[in-house]
Structure 1
Amino acid sequence: MSEQAVPILMYHSVAMAPNDATRELSVAPEAFSEQMAQLGDLGFTPLTTAELARCWRGGAPLPGRPVLITFDDGYEGVHRHALPVLAKHGFVSTLFVSTGWIRGVHDTGGGLDTMLDWDQVRGLAASGVEIGGHSHTHPQLDQLADDALWFELLRCKEIIDGELGGVPASFAYPYGYSSRRVRRTVREAGFAQSLAVGNALARRRQGPYALQRVTVRRSTGAEEFERLVQGREVARNFARDRALTKGYAVVRRARQVRRKATRSRV
């Protein structure tokens, strides 16, 4: 029997008029509503990240057509526009928050558009949205020294626990970037699973700390969305993204080598 593949949808902003910084990765509210209706019509059953991990760890059967609906960063439109649609369909989802971007006492001012505040995050959690970690200030984690990496993970976890009264079980890497060191540290920090990007369907063999997701953009139309969730032509749709990612990975590795060499001379 072939391994069951699961589409994990990655959303960011849901907004009518996003700013330039978030436009490409935002989704119009009407498009989001149509996409959730498509999932229902196609017979998909949404799960949270934690639920998927529990099934795969314990060997419990998944529903016939599982899907994960995830949001990164913590944009205000998730509460304003996405939550009513999710509630209408009875869909669960996961929101990964960068705690230093959420409006309130912990705000570092780094948010790219109008962000959620903690009352809204609590409202989402009370409505059944799983709240996961997405670091504190949204850096490229694999570019950080060990102490800075630990700070980003533990500060994020501490704030979510303090604001919501529960430790987050799930994490998503900012920008999708990780490394063996980052994945190990995420595990040691107490997160039970973590999501990357990859623009591929998630499979159990990827392991709990490298589950891949599919990006939903403002330009994603109804036909493309259906192909993505059904796992058809995913590789072709994101071929350019993968080529750019591989090229940038070479640049980033070179930067890491230079930084290590500089530190060793100090």
Structure 2
Amino acid sequence: MYHAVGHRPAKAVHGLSVSPEAFGEQLDLLAERGFTPLTTAELAAAWRSGGALPQRPVLITFDDGYEGVHRHALPALAEHGFASTLFVSTGWLRGPYESGGALDTMLDWDQVRDLAAAGTEIGGHTHSHPQMDQLSGEQVWFETLRCRQLITDELGTEPASFAYPYGYSSRGVRRTVREAGFAQALAVGNSLAVRGQGPYALERVTVRRSTGIEEFERLVEGRSIARNFARDRALTKGYALVRRATSASRKVTRSRV
């Protein structure tokens, strides 16, 4: 799971960015080790149908829609002939639907179309990038359907895959994403995706500015993941308790109004 790719990303996304040089080195390693990148839709379709997968499948995904994905990542992906999936927050992209809140320079819709034409799968990532498990049912529907409709209108094809902002979801959120027409969805989890997670809770491993090539190798080989992300998982559990308490409080407040 990548976010921004750039030399000097904004402070707000610096930790979750990678330099173009590091990204290229990571793709070189995937090629050398015989990995075959797939789109999210291709992986999910193979798991659903029981179809064959390449010996070493891997997903390369980008969240949010930062401009560097077009400027820096696309040429590197094209050099290797690698597939990828870009999950866009439609209200953050530059253009007529821009609603504010973006953390750095974002893609515009022409660039998104360029990426799609080059074989990148374009998936949904809500409209305004909220914590979906903290929204009302109506808000979850709006964020999901608005994002899906704009992608369909701009690209001429309906998106099949979705990624939850911050990785947060709930049973109700996952049900809405499914009912809205998305066939699969990705969380974070910082663990390798396995079929048993189900099509609406597939996990990913975060690649950061601090991820050196040796650590990256361990991650894609499935080694030392629990150790590398022990702090993240502890924080995630703590955040989950806080979010559940906050959500419950909001429901009680709404019921009293």
Shorter chain as denominator, the TM-score bin is over 0.9
Which residue of the partner structure matches residue 221 of structure 2? 230
TM-score (norm 2): 0.99
Shift of 1:190: 0.3
Secondary structure at 1:63's aligned position in 2? Answer: coil
Distance 2:119 2:189 in 1: 27
Deviation at 1:257, TM superposition (A): 1.3
Distance between the aligned counterparts of 2:133 and 2:82, measured in 1?
A: 33
Q: Once the 2 structures are TM-superposed, how far is the Cα of residue 242 of structure 1 from its aligned partner?
A: 0.3
Selected match of 1:66 from 43, 57, 77? 57
Q: How does 1:45-194 map to 2 (within 5 A)?
A: 45-194=36-185
Partner of 1:5: none
Cα deviation code 1:171-204 (max 9, x no counterpart) = 0000000011000110000000000000000000
1:210 to 2:209 alignment: no
* 1:29 pairs with 2:33: no
How much has 1:217 moved relative to structure 2?
0.2
Q: Which amino acid aligns with 2:167?
A: G
Which AA in structure 2 matches 1:160? I
1:94 Cα offset (Å): 0.2
The letter of the residue matching 2:255 is: S
Could you tell me the percent identity over the aligned residues? 74
Structure 1 residue 237, shift from structure 2 partner: 0.4
The number of residues matched between the two structures is 257
The alpha carbon displacement at 1:86 in A equals 0.1
1:142, distance to aligned residue in structure 2 (A) = 0.7
Q: Which amino acid aligns with 2:157?
A: G
The ranges of structure 1 where at least 4 consecutive aligned residues each deviate by more than 6 angstroms after the TM superposition are none
Q: Which runs of 5+ in 2 are unaligned?
A: none
Amino acid corresponding to residue 67 of structure 1 in structure 2? V
Superposition RMSD on alpha carbons, in Å? Answer: 0.5
- Secondary structure at 2:61 match in 1: strand
Of the candidates 185, 188, 191, which is equivalent to residue 197 of structure 1? 188
Specify the alignment match of 1:6 in structure 2.
none
Return the structure number with greater relative CO, CA threshold 8 A, min gap 6. Answer: 1
Taking structure 1 as the reference length, the TM-score comes to 0.96
